[in-house]
Amino acid sequence: GQSLEQPSEVTAVEGAIVQINCTYQTSGFYGLSWYQQHDGGAPTFLSYNALDGLEETGRFSSFLSRSDSYGYLLLQELQMKDSASYFCAVQTGGGNKLTFGTGTQLKVEL
């Protein structure tokens, strides 16, 4: 089976940088995805890493180390609207499916 670990909650101030870590144990690993979910809403895709290294998309970056079974999501220039839950998810099952972590609730304060 698969298991993923993320911190349950992170708090940061507006304008700061925050890193959300994710460690995983799985077989048949294809890649690591990140999703954002605001309260009461549906998850939205943020980023994906299949290879080691850093992927940058605007204020968000994601990193993967396959040898360490570890990744992180980096959010820069935090804004109040970034307050949400962030989920890492491993792609497995021949690439057919995602297994999600339990999520990290990010609170951005003034």
Partner 1 sequence: SQTIHQWPATLVQPVGSPLSLECTVEGTSNPNLYWYRQAAGRGLQLLFYSVGIGQISSEVPQNLSASRPQDRQFILSSKKLLLSDSGFYLCAWSVDPWGAYEQYFGPGTRLTVT
- Residues in touch with partner 1 (CB under 8 A): 30-31, 33, 41-45, 48, 50, 87, 89, 91, 93-103
Nearest approach, Cβ of 67 to partner 1 (angstroms)? 20
Other CB atoms within 10 Å distance of the CB of residue 91: 19
Q: What is Dmax (Cα atoms) for the chain? A: 44
Question: By C-alpha distance, which of 25, 30, 76, 69 is closest to 49?
Answer: 30
User: For partner 1, which is the closer residue by CB, 61 or 101?
Assistant: 101
User: For partner 1, which is the closer residue by CB, 17 or 25?
Assistant: 25
C-alpha span between 80 and 82 (Å, rounded)? 5
User: For partner 1, which is the closer residue by CB, 103 or 108?
Assistant: 103
Nearest approach, Cβ of 57 to partner 1 (angstroms)? 12
